[in-house]
Amino acid sequence: MEKLYCPRCGSQKYGRDWIVDGKVRLKCYVCGKKSFHFLETDPLGSVSSLREGAEAHMPSDENRGTVTFNSRITNVFELLRLYEVDLQEWEIEKQKLNKWEVGAKGADGSLIVEPLFQVVAYLRQRVMKPVKFAPIRPIEITLPKRDPLPPSGSAIQKTLLIPDSHHGYRKNPDGSETPLHDERATEIAVEIALRMQPDTIVIMGDQLDLAEWSTRYLITPDMRNTTQRAVNACARFFARLRYACPRAKMVMIVGNHEQRIEKALATNMSAAYGLKPADEPDGPPLMSLERLLGLKTLRIELSKGYPDGCYWVTPQLKAIHGELCQGHKTPKKVTEVYSDYSVVYGHLHQRHYYCRSVPTPSGSREVFAACPGCLCHIDGRVPSAVSGDLLNWQQGLIAVNYTEGYTSISHIPIQDGRAVYRDELICIPQATEPSYGANSL
């Protein structure tokens, strides 16, 4: 490469300093003399001799790119010339320059110090190319007509409590998707609901994972663009529960994962927060769970206001998602927090139960705390603050029987697609997740 000398002071410390509108600015680092040249007439000439041992990553997508060089190039202008970057198409978004020294012993025993340089240029298209996304169509929920079942005539009120299912997906390198929810566990919940015919079904929150809506945790690329498919799968699960139990009252408690939509809108898109259609100003917002999951069509009530959302299963038994239970990992501690009544909670993905007697003026009274577990996969694929060997999750449901002055609960463990209900083994065979259309349930 040709050496340059400052025309004012004659110093060799004269080189590229910046690039503007197709021009190179040369600067003397001794006297400060500056001059401009067009790129086509750059006096430093070709740098093709520097290509040996070079590495580059450019572009990283259609609109942005990165070029990097770890060698004797000392500024971004030499780097751009080395890779023949067309500055009519690309512009510098930012740059990173690093310099360090290494020492080595010479043949005569003297110390040789060599400077090393790293030059990184982050580029972007001057004219951005549009990114195409697949159109999203609204789902249509159509429930088959079914004659209502006759009243049971029983004085016992039956309730089925369904814990966290975390409907969601991870994208695989081959284009397929891995579900976070366990289809066999949710199908067992539907089968038990069909056999039990409860008076009430309580869905205890975190039915949607919504990883890509998080404002707190890292969102990895395999989680992006999965919300629509997750919403469809969750709505399909709810529709199957409604079809199995057409007379049951169904209530959904909002969990912390469903609250991610509200948080994300309030934090990043406040203009869309609470937005309602002009023809239904008294209805729920456009991005509400009621609309996304079709809860009105499915006749599912929504208990909002996480973490305060709840449902009183009996006068002395409260169902919550479980935000306040997170700091109390044992059900014994939970009964100390909720000492005036019993509580069933989700959130922890573990099967818990603890009962104790509380003295009252009229005698002792039993209070208990219980957690059914979860319906998501428990092999570590669901994003969690705890993973690997430390993951201690179990799957299950809870059935509650109540008559005046008496409450009993029963855990229904689910293990590897199997559960026992009323002396009957329910077994869902292992199979790949069924393929459903974008608008089907």
pLDDT in tens, 11-61: 666 666 555 555 566 777 667 666 655 444 444 444 333 344 344 444 445
Query: Does the pLDDT of residue 378 top 90, yes or no?
Result: yes
Closest by Cα among 201, 206, 163, 230 to 375: 163
Q: Which two tokens stand for residue 340?
A: 């005036």
Q: What angle do CA 137, 140, 145 make, to 5 degrees?
A: 170
Neighbours of 298 (CB within 10 A): 18
Percent pLDDT > 90 in the chain is: 40
Which pLDDT band holds residue 169 (cuts at 50, 70, 90)? very high
Query: Distance (Å, rounded) from C-alpha 397 to C-alpha 113?
Result: 69
Query: Does the pLDDT of residue 64 top 80, yes or no?
Result: no
Mean pLDDT for the stretch of residues 112-129: 84
108-117, 379-388, 423-432: lowest mean pLDDT where? 379-388
Between 146 and 375, the more confident residue is 375
52-61, 94-103, 210-219, 406-415: lowest mean pLDDT where? 52-61
DSSP 3-state assignment of 327? coil
> How much is the mean pLDDT over the chain?
82
Percent pLDDT > 70 in the chain is: 78
Instruction: Kindly state the DSSP code that residue 419 receives in the 8-state scheme.
Output: E
Amino acid at 258: E
Q: Which long-range contacts (CB under 8 A, 24 or more apart) does 223-231 make?
A: 223/168, 223/170, 223/171, 223/383, 224/171, 225/133, 225/171, 226/168, 226/169, 226/170, 226/171, 226/177, 228/136, 228/438, 229/169, 229/177, 230/167, 230/168, 230/169, 231/139, 231/167, 231/292, 231/293
Which pLDDT band holds residue 432 (cuts at 50, 70, 90)? very low
45-59, 116-130, 174-188: lowest mean pLDDT where? 45-59
Buried b (16+ CB within 10 A) or exposed e, 125-157: beeeeeeeeeeeeebebeeeeeeeeeeeeeeeb
pLDDT for the residue numbered 385: 66
Closest by Cα among 120, 20, 128 to 64: 128
Half-sphere exposure of 18 (CA within 13 A, CB side): 5
Query: Does the pLDDT of residue 146 top 90, yes or no?
Result: no
Q: How much is the pTM? A: 0.65
Query: Distance (Å, rounded) from C-alpha 242 to C-alpha 245?
Result: 5
Q: What angle do CA 296, 297, 300 make, to 5 degrees?
A: 50
Buried b (16+ CB within 10 A) or exposed e, 418-435: ebebeeeebebeeeeeee
Amino acid at 298: L
pLDDT tens figures, 317-356: 999 998 755 555 677 888 777 788 999 999 989 999 999 8
